[in-house]
Structure 1
């Protein structure tokens, strides 16, 4: 194949891959990467199920790496007595000095609310935890959990309602993840030493196997191809997006009613003073 034809083929391939992945068959987008068969594709690849028992949990990750994007996944969390379990859903780069944008859903006793634990890492360092109670039961139906990541901001959202924003404040010397492509991961595992009420409530293995389900993945994102990120013209809708007035009001509502922990209001943790972003983020 001549050079010109090869370049045209690569260009067309990039356009096909990077424009955005819609719902559909998850086999083409993800690999089950651990769990000895406890993670599986079902319904002809329309659904991923992760399970946890007293031997091990399970997990999957995306075949692609992304540099900026709007990532959506519908998830149904572990029902019933889910105390001690954690369902993690996050973007993470490779290496020890990794960047990460992180949801962790902390199970609870039947009838008690799930806790959503969020964090942002840059260069392998996090310590930016915020936690929220959900205002609905996340185990009876699928809900859409989103990460908007662009050069200006990171927004965590549930069913298009923002719950947290981490703005780019590099001009103030605050690190922001923007150079390292990240792969999407999810896992279901046991963390009863800390996950539920500080570890006081342990996993009830008589309820096992525990199960979380995933569907309708969508990534409007820049995809790493041949070592470099490639973006289609359709990225414009999210590449410069920030929260509009309605979204800001929704964010304030979530903070006021459902946020239960914010590292920026925990001075005992920082005897030398709160992190710099705590003075400017909200």
Structure 2
């Protein structure tokens, strides 16, 4: 059976360039928005459907918007189906991420999915990043294109976070795996975090270093969210103790990628990755210790500008802090 599945995947990938990937989320409970989340900022630009199964986040000249999970989580599987704004979206950033910046101002952790808008005719880009203990001076960003238009329909974006690794998924295809290594020390996220989603104006850096700004002629920009999954172990914010049994909380959370998933991940990265900190010689004369250099990837990335925006620096407002008090 595994051999048949492998052959089917290779056929799909090389003949049709990825359309055979499953778009079904992993078999985790989907919760209503109001059971797991609360508005964060821009309340007038956050529209919750009457059945609480979907939410729209809007960005216009008055404000962006965002929401946050009720609970803090220490490890788990976090997912949402997202449909991004269409047409001209330069300067617009939609984020789906874990952070504890509100609790640890100088030594916070973060795990990011960031969706970067573009000018008309150019595709959305995805950026992922991981850092811990306030290690914002060490960027571990990666950026990718996609094999579909994320503004045409919903797609699933997921983060698996355990004590030993972090895996990012798009439509159940793993696109990045970050393994905890001894050399990373405290740079690996290790403290309980909140799950956030936001839309905001990043005109100063998001598209070609700020060359293209948000054009509010096309506002409101609307990001749609549904299929909310918060499958992790909640942590008491005062006592910092878990509210569940660790064995139970991790019972159905995948601990590794399968052989077939690893092939999908490697093929995705060879075809769609456009930037990785491991190959950025401008920032790091010597790659960080956890980096494993792939000669095929190095050759492929030569055609891409290694610093396509923001001078390669990890820039934060912070998203929801800035947007609470500043009109766009």
TM-score w.r.t. the length of structure 1 is 0.86
Within a 5 Å distance, the mapping from 1:52-63 to structure 2 comes to 52-63=59-70
Secondary structure, counterpart of 1:214 in structure 2: strand
Structure 1 residues 79-99: Cα deviation after superposition (integer angstroms, max 9, x where no partner): 121111000110012312111
- Per-residue CA deviations over 1:29-58 (Å, capped at 9, x if unaligned) read 111110141112123311111100122111
Q: Distance in 2 between matches of 1:177 and 1:98?
A: 11
Q: Deviations over 1:185-241 (max 9, x none)?
A: 0110011121112222221110001110111111221111353123352522326x1
Q: Which has the higher strand share?
A: 1
Does the alignment pair 1:229 with 2:242? yes
Distance 1:186 1:221 in 2: 17
RMSD value, Cα:
2.1
Asked if 1:164 is matched to 2:199, the reply is no
Q: Tell me whether 249-258 or 42-51 shows the greater mean CA deviation.
A: 42-51
Q: How does 1:52-131 map to 2 (within 5 A)?
A: 52-93=59-100, 94-96=103-105, 97-126=107-136, 127-131=139-143
Q: Does structure 2 conserve the Cα–Cα contact (< 8 Å) formed by 1:54 and 1:205? A: yes
The CA distance in 2 between the partners of 1:173 and 1:32, in whole Å, is: 34
- For residue 151 of structure 1, the aligned residue among 143, 152, 163 is 163
The equivalent of 2:22 in structure 1 is: none
How far residue 122 of structure 1 moved from its aligned partner, in angstroms, is 0.5
Between 160-169 and 24-33, the greater mean CA deviation after superposition:
24-33
Say whether residues 1:193 and 2:204 are aligned partners.
yes
The equivalent residue for 2:223 is 212
Contact 1:21 1:217 (8 Å CA) reproduced:
no
68-77 or 226-235: bigger deviation:
226-235
- In structure 2, how many angstroms separate the alpha carbons of the residues matched to 1:119 and 1:177? 11
Alpha-carbon separation, structure 2, partners of 1:173 and 1:266: 18
Q: Output the CA distance in 2 between the equivalents of 1:174 and 1:279.
A: 18
42, 47, 60: which one aligns with 1:40? 47
Q: In 2, distance between residues paired with 1:191 and 1:122?
A: 23
SS in 2 for 1:37: helix
Using the TM superposition, name which of 58-67 and 104-113 deviates more.
Answer: 104-113
CA distance in 1, matches of 2:154, 2:69: 20
1:67, 1:178 within 8 Å by CA — same for their partners in 2? Answer: no
- Bigger CA drift: 246-255 or 227-236? 227-236
Question: Contact between 1:221 and 1:231, CA under 8 Å: does it hold in 2?
Answer: no
Deviation at 1:70, TM superposition (A): 0.9
Please tell me whether residue 238 in structure 1 is matched to residue 253 in structure 2.
yes
Number of positions where the alignment pairs a residue of Structure 1 with one of Structure 2: 260
Aligned partner of residue 78 in structure 1, secondary structure: coil
Q: For residue 174 of structure 1, report the CA deviation from its aligned partner.
A: 3.8
The 2-side partners of 1:36 and 1:235 are apart by 34
Give ranges in structure 2 of 5+ residues lacking alignment. 1-26, 298-328
Which whole-Å deviations, capped at 9, do the CAs of 1:124-181 have from their partners, x for residues lacking one? 12410000011101111111100001122100000100111100112x3543545311
TM-score (norm 2): 0.74
Contact (CA 8 Å) 1:68, 1:178: kept in 2 or not? Answer: no
Partner of 1:8: none
Shift of the 38–68 alpha-carbon distance from structure 1 to 2, 3 Å rule, reads same
